[in-house]
Amino acid sequence: MKRHELYVQLISELANYILRGNPKKMVISLHMEPDGFHIAAIDDRPRTDEEIAEIEHSLMLHQRPELASYYGTMVGHDLLGSARLELIGFQVKGVKVERIPEGGVMINLWVGSEDFDPGLFTINEKARGV
């Protein structure tokens, strides 16, 4: 898959998820490196600890190549019905979800190829899910 397609699809699914929470603000940033990229999404909707745990659980699904290469192709394409963070979860190398002072949450995703070098990004051990 061309990289820019993956950017568009992941951002689209993430935006779909955030917008379904009816926020007043949403910011999405993208940091690209040769072997990976970092997407950060911020909104202003307050969430409970349980909701944050659910976001993390969906995104922290361990690497599932058999699902990612088949069902994962729906990411960012088919937006009818509820948003599916787990489609993103199949693809990512690291995740961090945290509250921000303004009241919303910041969702950080690190995605990379086999040669992904976490050293190029602000990714820690916890975010890598290890």
Partner 1 sequence: MQGTRTLEVFVLTVMLGLFLAGMLSGDAVQTLHGFFRLQVTPARLVSDFTAVAGVGPTLLNVAAVGCLGYLFLILNKLQVSGAGLAALFTMMGFAFFGKTLFNCIPIMLGVSVSALVVKKKPQDYALIAMFGTAMGPLITFIAFELGMRRIFALPGSFAVGILTGIVMPPLAIAMLRLHQGYNLYNIGLSAGFVGLFTASLSHAAGADILPLAMWSTAVEPLLVAVVPVIALLAIVCIVAESPRRVGQGLAEAFRDFRKILTMSGRLPSDFADYVSPKGALLNAAVLGILFWLGMVLLGAPFNGPVLGGMFTIVGFSFFGKHPKNVLPVVCGVLVAIFLFGKDIYAPTPLLAILFGTALAPLAGEFGPAIGFLAGFLHLVIVDRTSVWHGGMDLYNNGFAAGLTATLIVSIIEWYRSTRNE
Instruction: Compare residues 45 and 57 and give the one whose CB is closer to partner 1.
Output: 57
Instruction: Compare residues 29 and 113 and give the one whose CB is closer to partner 1.
Output: 113
Residue 32 burial (CB count, 10 A): 11
- Tell me how far apart the alpha carbons of residues 121 and 128 are, in angstroms, rounded to a whole number: 11
Enumerate binding residues for partner 1 (CB under 8 A).
57-58, 61, 64-71, 73-74, 77-78, 80-82, 84, 86-87
Instruction: Compare residues 32 and 74 and give the one whose CB is closer to partner 1.
Output: 74
Contact 53, 99 (CB under 8 A): no
Position 67: which residue type?
L
Q: Which sign does the torsion angle of CA 88, 89, 94, 99 carry?
A: positive
- Tell me how far apart the alpha carbons of residues 12 and 76 are, in angstroms, rounded to a whole number: 5
CA-nearest of 45, 58, 53, 50 to 109 is: 58
Instruction: Compare residues 20 and 99 and give the one whose CB is closer to partner 1.
Output: 20
Token pair 């969906």 is found at 58
